[in-house]
Structure 1
Amino acid sequence: MNLRRLRSFVTVAEELHFTRAAAKLFVAQQSLSKQIAQLEAQIGTLLLRRTSRSVELTPAGQVFLAAARDALARFDLGVDEARRVGRGERATLRVGFIVGAALELTTHILGEFTSRCPGAQIELHEFGFSDPSAGLAGATTDVAFIRLPSSAHGLVTTPLFTEPCVAGVSTAHPLSARDRVRVEDLLDEPIAIGRTNDTVWRDFWTLAGHRGGRRARSIIETHSQSEEVEVVAAGMACNITPAAARRYSPHPGVRFITIDDHPGSIVAVAHRSDRPNPLVTAFVEAARAVRDREPLILRTIQGGLQPG
């Protein structure tokens, strides 16, 4: 099996037309048909179903197409990396994140990836609440730590953990004397949230799913996490936030109270489905490996606890 046959198959699978695929590859149609037949013989199954009027992928062909694309992407990236190294450069992976990234797992994941891909360079890019996709929606990052749910389309997500949500209230607020609240206790409160166009994200953090179609009493939009905390401390609003705020954003004027009946916030490593990249695959595998071998850290995060 060789790269030429793989490229031929991928081109035919994308065009679903032998004449167009042959023209795109600058080969004769008869030669292209022969390459596909040889590939199918090597694999031992039909990949394409051909008639006089149409070409379509078989179920086996659909599976093999994903593998072929990945193999070619890995090879092409390897060629690019070799050229960069030859020029004294290093391959770069752009990693996006919003506040908190993957919490205590972050440094472990970055370290694991570096050990697996020592020739790669990581560029870290922090994004505010205005872009919950952490650069993936605009393709300014290759892979990112994000919080679900999100309205960004075409993302492949690998969940790392689910974290409890808490309500941040001013220490002068009547609810600050309580250790736990329910969503119904918060529905009449003004809510502070980061300004964003992601309506799915916005609805989750403003409790929209619990309001039965009714609008929140008041929404105060902020431009940063620190601004949001100050709004809460001033008693202008409360906010719904991950439990890690207790560890990462303590404030003498804010009390964080566990919410018993709001779904947890899922932190995932994500990437775009239309941009295959072996470095991204390696990063996701590193993140998954760290997640699976660090149960104590996960217990701390998922319990909303202070690290022990």
Structure 2
Amino acid sequence: MDLNLRRLRSFVTVAEELHFTRASSKLFVTQQSLSKQIAQLELQLGTPLLQRTSRRVELTPAGQAFLATARATLACFDQGVSEARRIGRGEHATLRVGFIVGAALELTTHILSEFTRRHPEARVELHEFGFSDPSAGLAGATTDVAFIRLPSSTHGLAIAPLFTEPCVAGVSTAHPLSSRERVCVQDLLGEPIAIGRTDDTVWHDFWTLGSHRGSRSAQNVVETHSQSEEVEVVAAGMACNITPLAARRYSPHPGVRFVPVDDYPDSIVAVAHRVGQPNPLVASFVEAAETVRERESLIVRMIQGTPDPD
């Protein structure tokens, strides 16, 4: 389906304003022309996107679903236009790299160095995101490529896994489980669980042991706003947390002990980008990350907690 960008922009503007007069003024077109653009888009899609009365404009369920796609498409196109113009003026190309706490762990510096070696003319912008956005800016199109941790919602994203990492339980040193060498999920199901506040249900489910609770969701969840806050909550004995093995190296705390969880799946760290990403530097960044993953096999084994080969 060949969708007209002008029609997409018209729809997004009306959806945001919910008022044809304001939208037409913002787009510098007549209301008649704007209505025609919306009608043609609805005809192409085969479904109404807006419900219009003499008093109000509302999105239909189909319109609500399509709005996110339309916004992302326009954001990608606009970014591509800006990047092309910038390069055409002789300015440096820019790659916006998102990450959450830990990024790609000990591989991060090697990946960034490999990419800048390949593209010394490119400018790299690093943007850190909290657990509230596990996509590290990709969902809102504020980054071009990102280090993300799975499982999380990945709709519309291309994923290149880098390594897997065992999960551990963070418990207060005063907690009875802190004396154990290993625990299993059953030991943790009755415990309060600390997790960063997020709307990503896939992410939330994994880090609260949701897949092991049957039809029941975690009842005693302590939501936090940052990694450091989560560690302090655990140290105070207010909750346990499920976290990657790297927490032992990146978030040590004298009041917290990290105990391996025997029967829980590994977490995956990946480099990701939006499908159809127009920035040509993205593919090169992914290639650099995969090259480093293969080259730095000793670091990968250390991250994964696997012994060196004999």
TM (norm. structure 1) is 0.72
**Residue identity opposite 2:88 in structure 1:** R
Of all paired residues, the percent bearing the same amino acid is: 75
Structure 2 segments unaligned to the other structure (5+ residues): 4-79
Q: Secondary structure at 1:128's aligned position in 2?
A: coil
Report the alpha carbon displacement of residue 90 of structure 1 after superposing the two structures with TM. Answer: 1.4
Work out which of the residue numbers 223, 236, 239 in structure 1 matches 2:238.
Answer: 236
Report the alpha carbon displacement of residue 216 of structure 1 after superposing the two structures with TM. Answer: 2.1
Q: Secondary structure at 1:181's aligned position in 2?
A: coil
Partners of 1:131 and 1:79 lie apart in 2 by 28
Partners of 1:225 and 1:199 lie apart in 2 by 18
Closer, same or farther: CA 113–120 of 1 in aligned 2, 3 Å: same
Offset from partner CA, 1:22-43 (integer Å, 9 cap, x none): xxxxxxxxxxxxxxxxxxxxxx
Offset from partner CA, 1:255-306 (integer Å, 9 cap, x none): 000011110010000000032321000000000000011110000000179x
Greater C-alpha radius of gyration: 1
Partners of 2:180 and 2:278 lie apart in 1 by 49
Report the alpha carbon displacement of residue 151 of structure 1 after superposing the two structures with TM. Answer: 1.5
Work out which of the residue numbers 103, 122, 134 in structure 2 matches 1:132.
Answer: 134
Partners of 1:299 and 1:222 lie apart in 2 by 31
Map of 1:189 onto structure 2: 191
Q: Is it true that 1:15 corresponds to 2:17 in the alignment?
A: no
Map of 1:141 onto structure 2: 143
Q: Secondary structure at 2:301's aligned position in 1?
A: helix
Work out which of the residue numbers 124, 139, 143 in structure 2 matches 1:122.
Answer: 124
Partners of 2:221 and 2:128 lie apart in 1 by 25
Map of 1:288 onto structure 2: 290
Map of 2:39 onto structure 1: none
- Provide the aligned length of Structure 1 versus Structure 2: 233
Partners of 2:214 and 2:140 lie apart in 1 by 33
**Residue identity opposite 2:263 in structure 1:** D
Closer, same or farther: CA 113–251 of 1 in aligned 2, 3 Å: same
Report the alpha carbon displacement of residue 79 of structure 1 after superposing the two structures with TM. Answer: 5.3
Partners of 2:94 and 2:147 lie apart in 1 by 17
Contact 1:243 1:304 in 2 (8 A): no
The within-5 A match list for 1:30-45 is none
Report the alpha carbon displacement of residue 179 of structure 1 after superposing the two structures with TM. Answer: 1.4
Offset from partner CA, 1:187-212 (integer Å, 9 cap, x none): 00000000000000000000000011
**Residue identity opposite 1:177 in structure 2:** S
Map of 2:276 onto structure 1: 274
Contact 1:169 1:239 in 2 (8 A): yes
> What is the root-mean-square deviation in Å for CA atoms of aligned residues?
2.1
Partners of 2:244 and 2:84 lie apart in 1 by 42
